[in-house]
Amino acid sequence: MAGHFKATPDGGAAVALDEVEIAILRSLAVQLLELIGPGDEPAEGEDPLAALFVEGPSEPPADPALARLFPEAYGNEDTELRAASAEFRRFTENDMRARKREDALTVVRTLDALAAEGDGGAVLTLSADECRNWLGALNDLRLTIGTRLEVTDDEGEADSLYRLPDSDPRKPMVMAYLWLGALQETLVETLMP
């Protein structure tokens, strides 16, 4: 199973991870949580339904990685489309952030439970719901790292990333990006009918 998800009989998936892989995945998920930011939990005594009607930001994030995670809905070619994107963002970004936080928290929680079970590596077994959370988090992590690495759809650029010398400071990020892609791909394959 080493590094590749395999389907489980209950519709979930399992993957063998060593303690270094667990630590890297957990660290990346925590960093993603920090990037996305804290949620807006209702204060004690505050109506929890009121939180459903809180409007989000209307401007896209300045950080390129956040802008990639929360893209413009309609582009920004003209004033009308910018206005529509701002309106869409106001009513959807808070929910998108909450979902992305939940996905990353699921990764942290499942890895923490796995680490608590024993020494070193172990087999991580996910339910079908946890698989969906993991897929979301793996996608968000790849988008974030890819943005930081300035990855585009250019095939030549992707090839150059594979051939980075070990001395290049981007090499660990590239290795994480490629590894997360392989995990994501095998998880998608296990969930296909």
The answer to whether the Cα torsion of 170, 3, 115, 35 is positive or negative is positive
3-state secondary structure 106-171: HHHHHHHHHHHHCCCCEEEEECHHHHHHHHHHHHHHHHHHHHHCCCCCCHHHHHHHHCCCCCCCCH
State residue 54's pLDDT score: 67
Radius of gyration of the chain from its Cα atoms, rounded to whole angstroms: 19
Tokens representing 97 are 């952030």
In 120-139, which positions are buried (b, 16+ CB within 10 angstroms) versus exposed (e)? Answer: ebbebebeeebbebbbbbbb
* Total length of the chain: 193
The reported pLDDT for the residue numbered 1 is 41
At residue 181, the pLDDT reads: 92
**What's the pTM?**
0.86
At 160 the pLDDT is 78
Per-residue pLDDT of the chain (193 residues; tens, 9 = 90+): 457 999 999 999 999 999 999 999 999 999 999 999 876 655 566 666 665 566 777 788 899 999 999 988 887 677 788 888 888 888 888 899 999 999 999 999 999 998 777 666 789 999 999 999 999 999 999 999 999 998 876 666 666 777 888 898 989 999 999 999 999 999 999 998 7
Token pair for residue 30? Answer: 């925590």
